[in-house]
Amino acid sequence: MAEWIPLLMFATVCLTLLLGYPVALTLSGTALLFAGAGLLGGQFDNAYLHALPNRVFGVMENTTLIAVPLFVLMGVLLEKSKLAEELLSSMAALLGGLRGGLALSVLLVGALLAASTGIVGATVVTMGLMSLPTLRARGYSDSAATGMICATGTLGQIIPPSIALVLLGDILSTSYQQAQLSMGIFNPKTVSVGDLFVGALVPGALLVLFYAFYLLVFARPTAEAADAAEQRPSALQLLATLLPPVVLIVAVLGSILAGAATPTEAAGVGAVGALLLALGKRQLSGARLREVLRNTVEVTSMVFLILIGAALFSLVFRGFGGEELVSHYFTNMPGGTTGALLVVMAVIFLLGFILDFIEITYVVIPIVGPILLAMGVDPIWLGVMVAINLQTSFLTPPFGFALFYLRGVAPADIPTAAIYRGVLPFIVIQLLLLALLAIWPQLVTWLPAQVYG
């Protein structure tokens, strides 16, 4: 019976989350409850709990995680500065003469906003408030309009500088070292957040291209007069609108690709650049700056509290022999590495219905990551596959997070079923991309090899 305690711990966390309890408190509370019962029953070694202060101190010393509040600050500043609204209106006017041009504008602005914020909820809500009324007025069906907004909002999972990739890169770095040490390699190779950023560029670009093809060919407006050309902006107006965010993103990603800055340093550049943009547009009053800082602190506090709760959960999980149980299950699974990968991807996809990417990154990946990497899986490829898998999960009815975010800001006369229908084609596109990456892993691994050798 004792060997099933780790699985019972995991099931307890999932059930408690379904009841609506906070994630961080659920993780730590479940861990302490099982640890206390294990101590009373003589099934748990108290030394695992003694390791928690070192884990917390390690989080405090982790310079990679400094990028989290900086990227959050960058995204919130760009959201509050109304930059996205100006981008959407300029792109819509520029492409207004093209049938389906408004849909393409929503995709391009959503991709740019996703690359700027890296936060799925913020992008979906912002794009829903800005573009949904216009899309409906221009003749797009409710399902087409809501589907493209949800899909473009989730691009923040995979387009750098994504916070999901920052956290995944940090965890995979540790998992990769553990995997190599377990194989007797005492001079282990490393994988960084920058590697994951570069590896995600080609898949992210392919996803945007697939979306664009679908929108232009299939998601046409129903009205003949839809997407009528508005007064086109002058070249100077368009340049003033498009250039600042593009320069900011190029500066952030370019400094990483060129090796001139670490992701943490690049995040600092992004935060300062976003602040200068907001000040230049005169959209940053004292009250708005306080709101920006408050939102940044709230998101950052949530991330790090979950991180500490996940650290406690993983220690207790390991204390009950959870890692040995998972390793034994994977190594004896039919299909070897492929079978193990399929099971992990299926579990992560299902967990994406009830857990955010932060919880999955810090609870699931530390358990399965070292085992899969020891079986020969490439860490960069695994990170990108997990990110796209979660992105697909966040879109999938009936529990996808992106659907809930849009439902919260969509007009009441749009039925939930229309939102569900709208996202189905994009789910198929993402599954197609996952299949392509599984068949040709070089789509992920080629560019990091060229950039970093």
pLDDT mean for each 10 residues of the chain (453 residues): 78 80 84 90 84 84 81 78 73 70 82 68 75 82 89 84 83 84 74 86 92 84 54 68 78 78 83 84 79 86 83 85 77 80 87 75 84 88 92 81 80 86 92 94 91 72
What pLDDT is recorded for position 432?
95
Please state, in angstroms and as integers, the Cα–Cα distance from residue 74 to each residue in 149, 163, 200, 282, 300, following that order. 21, 11, 20, 16, 13
Residues in contact with 102: Cβ distance below 8 Å, sequence separation at least 6, in sequence order: 92, 95, 96, 134, 135, 138, 140, 221, 226, 227
For residue 203, CA distances in Å to 112, 208, 213, 274, 383 come to: 15, 9, 15, 26, 12
Report d(CA 159, CA 104) in Å as an integer: 17
Question: What's the number of CA atoms in the CB half-sphere (13 Å) around residue 328?
Answer: 7
Residue 230 has a pLDDT of: 53
Residue-by-residue DSSP string for 179-192:
HHHHTT-SS-----
Q: Which two tokens stand for residue 162?
A: 């994504």
**Res 225: pLDDT:** 47
Residue 115, both tokens: 């690359």
Residue in this structure with the two tokens 């070897």, named with its chain if needed? 336
Q: What DSSP letter does each residue of 153-208 carry, written as one string?
A: HGGGGTSSS-HHHHHHHHHHHHHHHHHHHHTT-SS-----HHHHHHHHHHHHHHHH
What are the tokens at 240?
Answer: 């003033």
Name which of 268, 241, 237 is nearest 255 in CA terms. 268
Overall residue count recorded for the chain in this entry: 453
Alpha carbons 351 and 344: distance in angstroms, whole number:
10
CA-nearest of 160, 175, 188, 193 to 65 is 193
The tokens of 185 are what?
Answer: 């390699």
Non-local CB neighbours of 361 within 8 Å, separated by 6+ positions = 164, 167, 168, 171
Q: Judging by beta carbons within 10 Å of its beta carbon (0-12, 13-18, 19+), is residue 413 exposed, middle or buried?
A: exposed
Q: What is the per-residue pLDDT for 138?
A: 78
Query: Would you give the distance in Å from CA 292 to the centre of its chain?
Result: 21
Give the model's pLDDT for residue 186.
Answer: 67
Fill in the amino acid letter for 411: P
65 Cβ contact list (under 8 Å, min separation 6): 59, 166, 170, 304, 307
> Alpha-carbon distance 453 to 447, whole Å?
9
Range of the domain at 99: 2-452
> Are 393 and 355 contacting, i.e. CB atoms less than 8 angstroms apart?
no
Q: Report the chain's C-alpha Rg in angstroms.
A: 22
Domains contained in the chain, number: 1
Q: Is the dihedral of CA 322, 324, 327, 328 positive or negative?
A: negative
CB 280 within 8 Å of CB 81: no
Please give the pLDDT value at position 2: 64
Distance CA 218, CA 132 (A): 18
Structure tokens at 391: 């992105």
| Rounded Cα distance, 220 and 223, in Å | 9
Pairwise CA distance, residues 6 & 321, whole Å: 7
If residue 224 lies in a helix (H) or strand (E), which one and from where to where? none
Rounded Cα distance between 94 and 101, Å, is: 8
List the structure tokens of 170. 């940090």
**What residues have CB less than 8 Å from 328, skipping those under 6 apart?**
none
Question: What single-letter amino acid sits at 244?
Answer: P
| DSSP three-state, residue 335 | coil
